[in-house]
Structure 1
């Protein structure tokens, strides 16, 4: 994919390959391609472009269980035939390769008015006899072909752009293949990001089409789009409406199309004096709604990885060490970090896993506080069998605080009370971790306010803490603390902490 999403993508939660392969096999377009590959025989005729002879389209439609007299059914049969060719489920036996868009054959083949044949390809055996990964490879080939077709202008536009000699006038068409492919890639990348940010297709809802169109058209920082920009959004919506209709049969998305006439209705509305009104969910859905399927998430992730983009999946760290786990989940949203941690723990003995996690959580580097927070998150998922490993670090200056928290939350007896230095160190460490996880979280100012309200003279003690992040934490409290007096005290304390270290 040519889109450039943010450098660290949240991990996607995917079903097993077996489940995804089942989804691929029931995707309408792929399922029809398989059926045509089983239908093809010695009497099958294809033209110089590899297309099925028009006279055989009714038979192909009937083989798919469609009405052979229906033009739409015959068009579906033609699309399924193209998918079968693109995936290698069907192979040509004497016909040439498809022509290029300029009308010139890409390779030598049968002449005009001549026909070749076709037969089931070797890859057909992979559908029933191959591993799930082989089925998914075939489906990905079909997806690539469908995405390429979706970036091509509609047939009516191509007809309008025909020049002398039946060739396409690309200047008149105003179509740039790379630009169109990049636009669709960008839209799908944004849809992927929205979906994985919400936890995957099993949690994420459908996305309004105007939101996706605006994500590619409206300039960053434009609070209120101009009429010209809104017109571009409308144009983009209609392009996407056609493209998502093409992408739904391959199983990439679930799509509710733009309702006919809805954009014209919007144009005719008089602007309200108080500004645009809020639309309810039913009204929003009239403008189109799209949702990535689990199979769609798998397909887009595969394309991103092929393009060199790091797109992690939950479960990839299950066989890695605790250090790799904690380092990675520091960049994940909390729900994704929890899912990854649970899979990592599932294959390990609790006491040994906890000891490994605690060892990996140590450190004085900038990432250490967040590693310890993720370690604490992991400990919350572990039962009583981990208690010996946790008690073993009670005297550790970096881990003793979180060990006491874990033991206290379980009502464990004989837990030694922390001294004042450990309490303040743990407080600084916790705030540093929260700042690293989400420095803009609305809960942080409330946490800071609670700390200073319950600890008189907090800043007089905090600047003395032997923690590498103490000055940064105090500076953040100076920016974020809701009480102006406390914020001023925090800034003074930050200055003292920095002076002390120099």
Structure 2
């Protein structure tokens, strides 16, 4: 992943660090690695390749409650690699180990290294939540490396078989290890991209943050067709075959990641895997109730935490709700202007905690001023923030009643609380506030877009106010023309849409 010239990732909301640390301590892969590290004690002599000697494997499998099957031995190997690569188990020269170390029998008498309990184990009992999460992120990184490289074992076996002569000896000229290096890099990139897309989907879809899962065909299609996030393109047979291939590769990688605690995965149906050996898996027109057979995946809260850390390390901007609680109001409203409504509300709530209400209200109102494209959105966020505070904010709101930009929202706030002596808004202010409210809900990056909810609101305004467009184009607001153009695009009535276009033209001419 690289963050150069990339747009910022959407914000995410995470549990408290202590809760994430508790989740990390329950991760199966971490627990197995810790058990092995403690089992190593003062020393377990290793083979020349740094692996557990065969004579100790049965003991380690029994310790972890694993069967002596290929799958059980693979899980043991993963846990041992995690233990040694994260410092849970330290590998030292035999002469540096305790003289009483239980070397045990080994397959290779020349072995000169011993594994002992490492210093990282102490973090699990004496460290704080941050220490535990640091350790878990190391575990996650090892798990990702293992998942990305595991398909290479099969590729290596196939390549060696193809390069073997009739007598079974290897033909060096028929085996090029550089080909496998390229495959390994491609495998790692695929998993990296898949997790990045999964993070993006989780950040933008509240249902995923609440436990819903992404169908594997959807995740695979997002990698093959990155410019078609909504799946509206009609893919060719070649593209469908590529999506099917990506699904198969991801299934093999994701199966090995669940033990690391970052994802929840329901693997592809074994019958489908057998069918895939004969023909590509269908990725279109699959019934909703059948989707789960094709694999379902989601990031856990721990996984969002881990992937966010990797994104930050790669140079991405990856906001976290709560990051702005110490910022000033201008920075708060500026950043939260791009947040979904629910997360913006959460950020405002955290920002207000511990701040004196009068000063916080003054700061928010001051930061809400402006004639730039994001100013309407800032004022809308200011309203959201002020809706969370009580009567102590009233002096700050009364102070801005004469303000052309803030007087309207101040009147709304005071009226909602039954305040006395609030001057009624004139028609000009009502229309200005209407345009400002609508402008706040347009996308500054694409003012031509309008959500169904905004479309309904716009149509309702026109229905309630006769002569709306004749008055609206005269509103002295920087976004008047944009709002009227949006209304012209989304209004279902042709006559009203035509009136909106004429009003938008007048508004542009007026400002020119």
Which whole-Å CA distance do the structure 2 matches of 1:247 and 1:136 have between them? 17
Q: 8 Å contact 1:13–1:199 — kept in the other structure?
A: no
Q: Once the 2 structures are TM-superposed, how far is the Cα of residue 112 of structure 1 from its aligned partner?
A: 8.7
Match of 2:101 in 1: none
Any stretches of 5+ residues in structure 2 without a counterpart?
95-106, 164-169
Q: 8 Å contact 2:3–2:315 — kept in the other structure?
A: no
191 and 5 in structure 1: CA distance in 2 versus 1, 3 angstrom threshold:
farther
Match of 1:100 in 2: none
469 and 277 in structure 1: CA distance in 2 versus 1, 3 angstrom threshold:
closer
Match of 2:495 in 1: 485
Structure 1 residues 101-159: Cα deviation after superposition (integer angstroms, max 9, x where no partner): xxxxxxxxx98953421112222222221221122111111211211121112533322
Q: Once the 2 structures are TM-superposed, how far is the Cα of residue 211 of structure 1 from its aligned partner?
A: 0.7
Which whole-Å CA distance do the structure 1 matches of 2:146 and 2:478 have between them? 56
Q: 8 Å contact 2:43–2:116 — kept in the other structure?
A: no
* 2:174 counterpart of 1:177: no
Structure 1 residues 307-356: Cα deviation after superposition (integer angstroms, max 9, x where no partner): 00000111010111111111011101111111111111122222321221
Match of 1:140 in 2: 137
Match of 2:35 in 1: 35
Match of 1:500 in 2: 510
Match of 1:79 in 2: 78
Match of 1:194 in 2: 201
Match of 2:380 in 1: 373
Match of 1:105 in 2: none
* 2:159 counterpart of 1:150: no
Which whole-Å CA distance do the structure 2 matches of 1:277 and 1:364 have between them? 48
Which whole-Å CA distance do the structure 2 matches of 1:385 and 1:203 have between them? 35
Deviates more, 1:460-469 or 1:5-14: 5-14
250 and 500 in structure 1: CA distance in 2 versus 1, 3 angstrom threshold:
same
Give runs of aligned pairs for residues 244-283 of structure 1, distance below 5 A.
244-263=254-273, 278-281=286-289, 283=290
Which whole-Å CA distance do the structure 2 matches of 1:278 and 1:86 have between them? 42
Match of residue 467, structure 2, among 442, 446, 457: 457
* 2:346 counterpart of 1:349: no
Match of 2:391 in 1: 384
Which whole-Å CA distance do the structure 1 matches of 2:109 and 2:221 have between them? 46
303 and 36 in structure 1: CA distance in 2 versus 1, 3 angstrom threshold:
same
Match of residue 339, structure 1, among 319, 329, 346: 346
Match of residue 318, structure 1, among 321, 325, 335: 325
Match of 1:99 in 2: none
Match of 2:302 in 1: 295
201 and 25 in structure 1: CA distance in 2 versus 1, 3 angstrom threshold:
farther
Any stretches of 5+ residues in structure 1 without a counterpart?
96-109
Which whole-Å CA distance do the structure 2 matches of 1:387 and 1:414 have between them? 12
Q: 8 Å contact 1:57–1:78 — kept in the other structure?
A: no
Q: Once the 2 structures are TM-superposed, how far is the Cα of residue 427 of structure 1 from its aligned partner?
A: 1.3
219 and 465 in structure 1: CA distance in 2 versus 1, 3 angstrom threshold:
closer
Aligned-residue RMSD, C-alpha:
2.9
Count of paired positions: 483
Where 1:56 maps in the other structure, the secondary structure is helix
Match of 1:360 in 2: 367
Where 1:499 maps in the other structure, the secondary structure is helix
Q: Once the 2 structures are TM-superposed, how far is the Cα of residue 244 of structure 1 from its aligned partner?
A: 0.8
TM-score, normalising length from structure 2?
Answer: 0.87
Q: 8 Å contact 1:3–1:185 — kept in the other structure?
A: no
Where 2:316 maps in the other structure, the secondary structure is coil
Where 2:318 maps in the other structure, the secondary structure is coil
Where 1:119 maps in the other structure, the secondary structure is strand
Q: 8 Å contact 1:5–1:189 — kept in the other structure?
A: no
449 and 314 in structure 1: CA distance in 2 versus 1, 3 angstrom threshold:
same
Which whole-Å CA distance do the structure 1 matches of 2:389 and 2:257 have between them? 43
Match of residue 218, structure 2, among 211, 217, 240: 211
494 and 228 in structure 1: CA distance in 2 versus 1, 3 angstrom threshold:
closer
* 2:410 counterpart of 1:403: yes
Match of 1:61 in 2: 61
Which whole-Å CA distance do the structure 1 matches of 2:404 and 2:327 have between them? 27
Q: Once the 2 structures are TM-superposed, how far is the Cα of residue 487 of structure 1 from its aligned partner?
A: 2.3
* 2:484 counterpart of 1:474: yes
Match of 1:49 in 2: 49
359 and 214 in structure 1: CA distance in 2 versus 1, 3 angstrom threshold:
same
